[in-house]
Amino acid sequence: MQTLAQHLQQQAIPESLTQLLLTLADTSKSISQAVRHGALAGILGATEQENVQGETQKKLDVITNDMLKDALQASGHVRGLASEEEDYVVPVSDAGEYLVCFDPLDGSSNIDINSLVGTIFSVLPALQGELTEQSFLQSGRQQVAAGYVLYGPSTILALTVGKGVSFFTLNPDSGAFLLTQDDVQITKDTAEFAINMSNQRFWEAPMQTYIADLLLGKIGPREKSFNMRWIAAMVGDVHRVLCRGGIFTYPTDNKNPEKPYKLRLMYEANPMAFLVEQAGGKATTGYQSILDIQPEAIHQRVAVILGSANEVDTCLEYHAEDYSGDEPTL
């Protein structure tokens, strides 16, 4: 089986990008170790700190953020980094060719119940000039690589460098990431959806109607039964979509009018949208392709609908019917 390093050598990408991706993969091995030690290492539970978004940080959020930060600072290829757990962008090295955005431990509410968590990353080109937040505000189409590492029963790296999606499984004996699936393709059609149903009453009208029609099954307009899954870690839900198709959404809601969206554009939506498009799927807010969004702030949040192309198109038709030129007010 091909190792990650061998696979990257064949991709016709700059050596600096290969080295950066190997650094990210190596760090994820250490994160995998830390996660697996769980209570034995005394690293479960919350800290007393909040991140800039007002969320209580778990101990493992902080530990994994520091692990990635240290590794990227030592890599020599990183101009700056932005993390869900850092208030501001972090300048790294003037000579670095890349910017890295990451969610060090996605789904961290799953940590304490020994369920799926993962690391998500996005690599952008570094632009000339002083490093500021502005340097990071590039659309998802500018990404040169993106991926996630899922810490599940096995540790799996899903990666794209813009030439399709590959899965690598960590061999716990040798410590190598080995290519276990190349050219991952999301099925065009699906009968499985993923949404946090407890927010139903807060969604905007098109999503209400769309999900109601799925729930009607064979007697409804879709004339087929749908199954539902919700892992509460985007990384786990997106992995399932890449493996067997599906539609995943965290839509606009008015639960908290000051926070109509949950997922972060730079650390979650963009890298996952890049992977999904590279695997033949679609990723949208309901009104615009995720990858076309011009970011306005590093911690910006967006509505996300992604997965099997035909199902996302169907969901978009519900949105188009209600669309009058502006995103609907809730």
Residues placed in the known binding site for substrate? 106-109, 196, 262
Provide the CB-side half-sphere exposure for 186 (13 A, CA): 35
Q: Parallel, antiparallel, or unpaired for β 247-250 and 192-194?
A: parallel
Distance, CA of 79 to CA of 100 (rounded, Å): 8
Q: Which residues pair with 159 in a beta bridge?
A: 147, 166
The DSSP result for 164-217, as a single string, is: -EEEEEE-TTT--EEEEE-S----S--SEEE--GGGGGGB-HHHHHHHHHHHTG
Q: Which is nearer to ligand F6P, 233 or 265 (CB)?
A: 233
Q: Are 119 and 137 in contact (CB under 8 A)?
A: no
Q: Which is nearer to Mn ion, 103 or 204 (CB)?
A: 103
Nearest Cα to 191, choosing from 316, 286, 310?
310
Nearest Cα to 140, choosing from 120, 167, 119, 169?
120
- Residues belonging to the binding site for Mg(2+) are 84, 103, 105-106, 268
Binding mask 105-144 for Mn ion (x = CB under 5 A): -x--------------------------------------
Residue 262 contact, options Mn ion, ligand F6P, none, Cβ 5-8 Å cut-off depending on partner type: ligand F6P
Place of tokens 């190792």: 3
Applying CB under 6 A, the site for ligand F6P has a residue count of 9
Q: How far is CA 11 from CA 17, 75, 161, 177, 271, in A?
A: 11, 20, 8, 16, 19
Q: Which is nearer to ligand F6P, 106 or 192 (CB)?
A: 106
Nearest approach in angstroms of CB 254 to ligand F6P is 14
Only segment of 29-37, 166-174, 176-184, 232-240 that touches ligand F6P (CB under 6 A): 232-240
Among 5, 13, 232, 243, binds ligand F6P (CB under 6 A): 232
Binding mask 255-284 for ligand F6P (x = CB under 6 A): -------x----------------------
Nearest approach in angstroms of CB 103 to Mn ion is 4
Nearest approach in angstroms of CB 296 to ligand F6P is 20
- Residue closest to ligand F6P, measured at CB: 234
Nearest approach in angstroms of CB 180 to ligand F6P is 24
Among 60, 170, 233, 266, binds ligand F6P (CB under 6 A): 233
The DSSP result for 136-167, as a single string, is: H---GGG-SEEEEEEESSSEEEEEESSS-EEE
Chain positions 69 to 128 lying near ligand F6P, rule: CB under 6 A, are 106-107, 109
Q: Are 81 and 127 in contact (CB under 8 A)?
A: no
Q: Which is nearer to Mn ion, 103 or 192 (CB)?
A: 103
Nearest Cα to 242, choosing from 143, 123, 142, 160?
160
Question: Under the criterion CB under 6 A, does residue 200 sit at the interface with ligand F6P?
Answer: no
Nearest approach in angstroms of CB 308 to ligand F6P is 18
Nearest approach in angstroms of CB 253 to ligand F6P is 10
| CA dihedral sign of residues 128, 130, 136, 138 | negative
Nearest approach in angstroms of CB 40 to ligand F6P is 24
Can you give the binding site for ligand F6P, defined by CB under 6 A?
A: 106-107, 109, 196, 232-234, 250, 262
